[in-house]
Amino acid sequence: MQFFLEVLIGGLLSGVMYSFVALGFVLIYKASGVFNFAQGAMVFFAALTFVGILELGVPFWLALVLAFGAMVILGIATERIVLRPLVNQPPIALFMATIGLTFFIEGLAQAMWGASVRGLDLGIQDEPIEWILQATDIGVSKFDLFAAGVAAVLVTALALFFQYTRIGRALRAVADDHQAALSIGIPLQTIWRIVWAVAGFVALVAGLIWGARNGVSFSLTFTALKALPVLILGGFTSVPGAIVGGLIIGSTEKLAEVYLGGYVGGGTDSWFPYVMALAFLLVRPEGLFGEKHIDRV
Amino acid sequence: MNGRQIGDVILDLQNISLRFGGVKALTNISFDVREHEIRAIIGPNGAGKSSMLNVINGVYHPQEGRIAFHGEERRRMEPHMAAMQGISRTFQNIALFKGMTVLDNIMTGRITKMKANFIEQAFYFGRARREELEHRKKVEEVIDFLEIQHIRKTPVGRLPYGLQKRVELGRALAAEPTMLLLDEPMAGMNVEEKQDMCRFILDVNDQFGTTIVLIEHDMGVIMDISDRVVVLDYGKKIGDGTPDEVRNNEEVIRAYLGVGH
Amino acid sequence: MLYREAGQFKASYGADQQIFPIRQDRIGIMIVLAIAFIAVPMLASEYWLKGILIQFLVFSCAALGLNILTGYAGQLSLGSAAFMAVGAFASYNFMLRIDGMPLLVAFVLGGLAAAFVGILFGLPSLRIKGFYLAVATLAAQFFIVWLLTKVSWFSNDSSSGVITAQEMVIFGYKFVTPESKYLLVLSVVTALALMAKNMVRGSVGRAWMAVRDMDVAAEVIGIRIMHTKLLAFAVSSFYCGVAGALYAYAYLGTVEPEGFNLDLSFKILFMIIIGGVGSISGAFLGPPSSSCCRFSWM
Ligand SMILES: Nc1ncnc2c1ncn2[C@@H]1O[C@H](COP(=O)(O)OP(=O)(O)O)[C@@H](O)[C@H]1O
Ligand SMILES: [Mg+2]
């Protein structure tokens, strides 16, 4: 039982990270209707850029600011160069463009900083927290808790940003109705730029945390891609969906790896989130929070 | 009216109720349709007319009520089964296959009658080839009937609205239906286009004996071509009878004719 | 298109329903086939045949399959490479485990195995659409490659997981030279392309496009959505499966799961986008241009 709880808690904590990345995705989807497949590549790019800058001897905080600056530039450039020319194209064309972007960003990151795997130390150890271990015999990793804490704070901040700031309200207006938003004078392109910058920020935080945990390598792109099954669970447009979906995916993935992985030779985490989301959709195609919808003709 | 004989009831709807969540689209509606007749459904927007057609051909599944087609009561009905039984339809918002030509759209209308499987088709061999030619001939008859020979190979997306409506009728006719459901076939048309469409509907009814259920807002058209009229308002039936009876029905006047449309 | 059918009057529907109704098309195809079958093997260097043309044909074959699914039936898939892997491994195992299994039959069986798996992973398409489905197809991509890696039976318990494909022999003739391999692949792919063309211009193809363009209307016309979508998944995966087998046997010479990764799925997707979604000949125009793009990015 203790062990089960330990695995479950570890899973939930890592699930918060999925939620976080999924949220960046929801943001872009809501504001511009773009299914941004490049989110995973952006995580990789962010982490690699940060480590690359650190290696030049730049202090931690400055590197953080510079990496964030790079992500903002990347986001704005994406909006300007890739998405704006494709405005009014079918969603599938935009989707394909973001797949192309994925290759480009991955290539760019490696061209700039090299392809070798690097470590990243944020100064927080991946070890059980003493007093919890003493009190309950359950090991909760300090690092996981820290990461989840950061993600939780940011998730809340984003949700509040959406809800209460002027830009946030504009974002939601755009999401509800592009035409209407335009007609009341909200500059769509500004909104998109902001959204891509925020997505870049999300990618940076995710990149740092995952990079610190697993090393900064190409496989980060696959980790970040797991925000996608989270999205199909929670829905592309739902903030609570992204949060709950992330927790579900995070915890079941860990449980499956621990309890099933042994029988099947491990590595289940490469596919489990996808199969899990798929199985869930078969039972409930409208997703976690979606409403049942009957096509109108 | 025409020389055709109106026959027995072929479609009988009893106490149909349909809800979407909290919205009551249809409440306890009963009416019937006789063979070879032109039966109109009228009512203000949102009255539940389109929903009624969707119930008839199985797109929507009513929570309550019974439907008998050709005297046979049916359980849960899927749209493709309705098609198999000879029910065709057009849609209020044109639902053509945008990426296909006029010819292919209408050919698709004959799909229930084509039996060759995909392997035969892959080799374009035997039955597949024969069928393709046979059905092409039928489709050309429809094309001639609707006078759209000149746009055969045009992708439907490029056609003006009025012609798209006509192609959609063609696709429905290609199935040689016994019952044709038309959802506002003349909406948004100019007078000439409306006249053409009326003529086609009457011809179909007259030449092929097709039973027609028609939703239309233009009262002039309704008075001219329909045999009997059902009036819906807020999902309830408020009138049923010949055009003249309906026109003089107090409740109908208040609910529908009173308001401009 | 640079020319139209203006001025070519068909006296019968049969003439109008030919596979290539426009005369210029017919002549063009003949010329292309003549060049591909006769001139290329005589003129092309070994490097071109082995390094480029065979791969090009194999990818075209997979692109044909994906185009049927995505271009015609409108179901976006990101898992083509996984179905190629199924085809490759199934063919290998049929060759390995059944004595005297003819090569071409093994390819077809590989394709059928892929078709079967394709139907399984196509089931969600009955309930979900668009991007949701695209993400769901990633399940196929990751799961299948994982399964083929983990279950060593598939690779005949070889320790490295990399296995050498059997020799290609048909009626005692061994396909070892690049020319012969090229011609074998070309023949298979040409036959499959013609079949695809026939299907998409027949009622199956119309049903696929109808489901793609307006599924409710398609159903009302009498098209069984489930049957139509699953058939698209099956046929598409069959093409991918055969492509996978050809890739392993005629190009790589080995069978291994790693090559059939997400990148390959994307590559094939790009081919159909560049070559033209919803066109059979597009499957052959896409590969060269998309590999150029890919290289120029790197
Ligand atoms: N697929 C659906 N989902 C939810 N509500 C629907 C759907 N179809 C129709 N309705 C509702 O049912 C009512 C009747 O609609 P409809 O049948 O389209 O009316 P009409 O065709 O008479 O204008 C409306 O309130 C409409 O909003
Ligand atoms: Mg209506």
Q: Could you tell me the residue range of the domain that residue B109 belongs to?
A: 94-176
**Which chain C residue has its CA at the smallest distance from A95's CA?**
C131
Q: Which of A119, A148, A20, A122 is nearest to A61 (CA)?
A: A122
Which residue's CA is the closest to the ligand 1 atom numbered 27?
Answer: B46
Cα torsion B40, B44, B46, B48: sign: negative
Task: Give domain status of residue A150, yes or no.
Answer: yes
Which residues in chain C touch residue B84, judged by CB atoms under 8 angstroms apart? 222
For B60, which residue in chain A has the nearest alpha carbon? A294
**Structural domain includes residue A296:** no
Residues B121 and B78 occupy one common structural domain = no
Residues from chain A contacting residue B50 (CB–CB below 8 Å) = 297
Whether C124 sits inside 8 A of A278 (CB atoms) is: yes
- Per residue in A75-84, is it b (16+ CB within 10 Å) or e — as a string? bbebbeebbe
CA distances from A43 to A221, A224, A249, B91 (A): 7, 7, 19, 47
User: To the nearest whole percent, how much of chain B has pLDDT over 90?
Assistant: 78
Q: What is the pLDDT of residues A178-198, one digit of tens each?
A: 666 666 676 777 888 888 888
CATH number at residue A83: 1.10.3470
B118 lines ligand 1 (CB under 6 A): no
Asked whether the beta carbons of residue B112 and residue C203 sit closer than 8 angstroms, the reply is no
Question: CA torsion sign, C162 to C167 to C170 to C175?
Answer: positive
- Measured between beta carbons, the chain B residues lying within 8 angstroms of A297 are 50, 54, 59, 91-93, 95
Q: Nearest CA of chain C to the CA of A136: how many Å?
A: 37
Looking at the structure of chain A, the number of domains it has is 1
Assign C285 a pLDDT band (cuts: 50, 70, 90): low
- The pLDDT of residue A9: 87
Q: What is the mean pLDDT of chain B?
A: 91
Structural domain tally of chain C? 1
Asked whether residue B197 is assigned to any structural domain, the reply reads no
Using the structure block, give the residue that is written with the tokens 């591909």: C36
CATH code: domain of residue B223: 3.40.50.300
Same-domain pairing of B112 and B140: yes
Q: What is the pLDDT of residue B3?
A: 54
- Total domain count, chain B: 2
> How does pLDDT run across C61-111, given as a tens digit for each residue?
999 999 999 999 999 999 999 999 999 999 999 999 998 899 999 999 999
Average pLDDT over residues B114-120: 91
B161 plus B215 within the same structural domain: no
Render pLDDT for C117-154 as a digit per residue (tens, 0 to 9).
999 999 988 888 888 888 889 999 999 999 998 888 88
The model carries a pTM of 0.91
Give residue B60 CA to ligand 1 midpoint distance, Å: 11
Q: What chains are in contact with C, requiring at least 3 Cβ pairs below 8 Å?
A: A, B
Q: Which 3-state string (H, E, C) describes C30-76?
A: HHHHHHHHHHHHHHCCHHHHHHHHHHHHHHHHHHHHHHHHHHHCCCC
CA of A150 to the centre of ligand 2 (A): 51
In a domain? residue B50: yes
Assigned token pair, C136 = 């769901």
Q: Can you say whether the dihedral through the CA atoms of C51, C52, C54, C60 is positive or negative?
A: positive
Q: Which residue has the higher pLDDT, A218 or B35?
A: B35
* Enclosing domain of residue A41: 2-118+130-283
Beta strands B179-183 and B87-89, pairing class? parallel
Q: Assess if residue C19 is contained within a domain.
A: no
Q: C-alpha distances in angstroms, B159 versus A16, B102, C1?
A: 51, 9, 20
Phi–psi pair at A185, nearest 5 degrees = 85, 25
**Which residue of chain C has the CA closest to B125?**
C198
Nearest to B133 among C13, C204, C213 (CB): C13
Q: What is the complex's ipTM, to 2 decimals?
A: 0.91
Whole-number pLDDT of residue B261: 46
pLDDT tens for each residue of C160-181: 767 888 888 888 888 988 889 9
Residue C214 has pLDDT above 60, yes or no: yes
User: Is the same domain home to B79 and B102?
Assistant: no
Q: Which of B53, B55, B56, B59 to mutate to test the interface with A (most CBs of A within 10 A)?
A: B59
List CB contacts of C64: < 8 A, sequence separation 6 or more.
C189, C192, C193, C196, C239, C280, C283
Cβ neighbourhood burial of B231 (10 Å; 0-12, 13-18, 19+)? buried
